[in-house]
Amino acid sequence: MSEGGGGNGSSSSSWGWGWGAGGGAEEEEAEREKQKEKARVSRTSLILWHTHQNDASSVRKLLEEDPSLVNARDYDNRTPLHVASLHGWIDVAKCLLDYKADVNSQDRWRNTPLADAEGAKKHDMIELLQSNGGLSFGQNGSHFEPKPVAPPLPKKCDWEIDPSELDFSTSTIIGKGSFGEILKACWRGTPVAVKRILPSLSDDRLVTQDFRHEVNLLVKLRHPNIVQFLGAVTERKPLMLVTEYLRGGDLHQHLKEKGPLSPSTSINFALDIARGMAYLHNEPNVIIHRDLKPRNVLLVNSSADHLKVGDFGLSKLIKVQNSHDVYKMTGETGSYRYMAPEVFKHRKYDKKVDVFSFAMIVYEMLEGDPPFANYEPYEAAKYVSEGRRPLFRAKGYITELRELTEKCWAADMNQRPSFLEILKQLEKIKDNLASEQHPWNIFTP
């Protein structure tokens, strides 16, 4: 699903911290308000979900019950009409317009449904929206209009790279995506990784906004288990983001070649990932990765003795005011196979989505195969959302490591431990393993 196109709702776990002791009218009123808000958020999630699924009859049924849902909004301020327009769902759009949907509502990027339909080249949708008074603009213009790339930080002279310093004469492609490619190149005599945006997309406002967002995050990060940002090219095309090059490749490829890892290696790898994530989740400025998976965990060298977390294209920087805060963010963001159920179901979520993904990675390290490897990624995510979890099939496990993994993929995000708690548990497991004078305490399922 396109970024910004997801819905949101909430499970009862979103309000898991209680309302204090005692009874009385105030507590009863607070409980009623809580239930009303819960129901409202749930209905918002439903209409956005059914819109995304092109289910016009379910959308109409919801609107019959509550016409105000026609202009429900997700975290990115996108309405059901934005979602329908992007995908070209004509019947759903007609239903929404029948219920007086705001045809010119603007999302977080100040774009209208018509701007989305134009960008996706949904010609029938464009005609429908225009016939209903749809306009293709916002305060900043459509994101399909050329826009200059503003520097992410005022002191960009500290990290702006002259593209002539980048040597691509012996470059190799190490990754590809819909917006560009990642190449191994050379900068001032040092091997580097360069994320290069396709020239044809360098004027697309959403692409450049995501590019600036990732640069803005990476500039601030300094940690041994986070891929180090070196600089960026923002004044000339193509736009480029330069980071350190890690010779060991990614964890996905490593597991593909090596198969299941030993318990001791799995623990050491898990510790490196958890250290990087604990740093990102540090309050009050929490960075939620939202796409933690083996491909985004990199090995420093071929000896595979050190890991770093990378790729922050989908990350969100959140200022936490309350440790219990949950956020309305885009649903179905990231990779299905490692996706937390609350993200798949378009519910409110917080930094614990990364803990769930971490658990899936630990499982894969122990098993050697991805979770639900026999299913397509979307089907795997659907099974997870229904409460299913992958089965431990390998012959031997450290009981405590399996138990920790199961805590991390708990259905209730409030039951999942923080990365600081995970680190304490992993260190304890590692110490116990090292102190054993005889073979490990094996758990056989």
Known binding residues for ATP? 195
* CB 430 within 8 Å of CB 271: yes
Q: Residue 49 contacts by C-beta under 8 Å, 6 or more apart in sequence?
A: 7, 331, 345, 346
Query: Does the active-site annotation cover 66?
Result: no
Determine the Cα–Cα distance for residues 122 and 125; give it in Å rounded to an integer.
5
Determine the Cα–Cα distance for residues 444 and 395; give it in Å rounded to an integer.
6
Residue 104 one-letter amino acid: N
Query: What is the maximum span of the chain, computed from C-alpha positions, in angstroms?
Result: 78
How big is the CA angle at 310 (ends 268 and 263), to the nearest 5 degrees? 15
Among 97, 45, 33, 37, smallest CA distance to 341 is for 45
How would DSSP label each residue in 340-359?
-HHHHTT--B-THHHHHHHH
Q: Catalytic: which of 74, 291, 350, 354? A: 291
Query: Percentages helix, strand, coil for the chain, rounded to the nearest 5?
Result: 45, 15, 40
Residues making up the annotated binding site are: 195
Q: Residue 71 contacts by C-beta under 8 Å, 6 or more apart in sequence?
A: 79, 101, 102, 105
Q: Residue 282 contacts by C-beta under 8 Å, 6 or more apart in sequence?
A: none
Determine the Cα–Cα distance for residues 142 and 129; give it in Å rounded to an integer.
15
- Tell me the two tokens of residue 92: 């759903």
Active site residues: 291
